[in-house]
Amino acid sequence: MPDENATGLVEKARAALRDLAPGKLLERLKETAPKSLRATLVRALADGLRTIPVPLVGSFLARLAEDTLKPENQGPSLEDLLALLEEMQTSDEQFRRGLERLGGDLDELQRDVEAIRETQVGTEFRLARTKLDLRWPAFDHRLAALLVNRGGGLVVLDEVHLDVEGWTVLTRADLSVPAAPLAILRLKALLDVTTKTYPLFALNGEGPHQFAQGLGAERLELDFESRHNARYQLRLRLAYYDERADSERELAWPPLGTPPFELDFPWAPGFRPTMELLEAKAVLADIEARLSTYADWLERKGDPAELEPLGIPEYQAHPGFVFSNFVRLLERDVAAHPDASPALRNLVARVGRAS
């Protein structure tokens, strides 16, 4: 049974989309400028969608038009998107289905809207529903949050800075076979231990974002990877302009005076073979010690519970495709490493023979 609040959101958003009539918007533009470039049409569509007076829905659809309709992306064509938007105007159910086909999660959207409404009036700009998703090395670590303006006036977010407040070397490698790589999202930071601050908007070619009172909300997603095997202590700083106070301000997360958030990036053969290893000999010594125990375990058909301290999942220890792939990665990225000892190379060969 659809949630009553979500139903109300869909009704309002669909009515606003119907009033906007995206297809007719572009038809009018073509009539006044018949030779308009495709980029101009996409920008006009995004600007129109952004005017939808329903929190998050307009910004989501506008972002889709701006990002997924870029020629280098494999998303829907402009014509396909217009056809889908027209279908979404016909009924609430079609709107829901269309939103899902475009990658939107209505339940998540509704929770975001509720978070906006619950934000204390008087706080001009803040991060809400902040969530840190630790997924390395199979995926990039991700930080997601809701940017909200509830205090009145207009907020212009000029930049999102990521500050590195400290780091330590991680010498324990991750020996689990990695999953498929993740598609790059809107904002991404490639960390290294020599850079102290990352201006994320500038690095990702992103312009300033505006947040008007009440409707000023947008989902922010940041993906982090690293050139080095390290644990980073990090803090976000959002530099913004408060139009009402005519003042430059800054929002920090976690708040200043509290500990930064931490992200670990261990070296993982096969997933980040080109990572610039810090203390490579210590990393390879760690792998050598664990592979020695692993080879013994394979040869004597040991208890699966013994694998847990080694950081090697049980499914990776049985003959078959996964095990063969694991051995191939060890041969390519561990045994062939210039700092690998003869004993480590022999261990990799021994693991391969144990199958």
For 91, other C-beta atoms within 10 Å of its C-beta total 12
The answer, yes or no, to whether residue 289 has pLDDT greater than 90, is yes
Does residue 128 or residue 283 have the better pLDDT? 283
Residue pair 347/284 in contact (Cβ under 8 Å)? The answer is no
Mean pLDDT computed over 62-86: 70
| Residue ranges of E strands in 151-196 | 154-169, 187-191
The answer, yes or no, to whether residue 210 has pLDDT greater than 50, is yes
The answer, yes or no, to whether residue 4 has pLDDT greater than 60, is no
Domain segments of the chain as ranges? 4-110, 119-265, 280-353
| Omega cis (within 30) before 208 | no
What architecture (CATH level 2) is domain 119-265? Sandwich (2.60)
Q: Is the pTM of this model over 0.85?
A: no
Mean pLDDT computed over 37-62: 71
Report the pLDDT value the prediction gives residue 288, as an integer from 0 to 100: 94
Q: What is the pLDDT of residues 105-161, one digit of tens each?
A: 777 777 766 665 554 444 467 777 788 888 777 667 888 887 777 666 677 888 889
* Per-residue CA distances from 10 to 54, 95, 113, 276 (Å): 9, 7, 12, 49
The answer, yes or no, to whether residue 342 has pLDDT greater than 70, is yes
With CA atoms as reference, report the closest residue to 79 among 114, 27, 31, 132.
27
Question: What distance in Å separates the CA atoms of residue 102 and residue 115, rounded to the nearest whole number?
Answer: 23
Mean pLDDT computed over 196-225: 80
**Strongest mean pLDDT among 35-49, 175-189, 211-225, 293-307:** 293-307
Mean pLDDT computed over 198-224: 78
Report the pLDDT value the prediction gives residue 121, as an integer from 0 to 100: 46
| Omega cis (within 30) before 254 | yes
Report the pLDDT value the prediction gives residue 42, as an integer from 0 to 100: 72
224 bridge partner residues: 141, 189
The answer, yes or no, to whether residue 181 has pLDDT greater than 50, is no
Q: 26 pLDDT band (50/70/90 cuts)?
A: low
The answer, yes or no, to whether residue 73 has pLDDT greater than 60, is no
Report the pLDDT value the prediction gives residue 218, as an integer from 0 to 100: 75
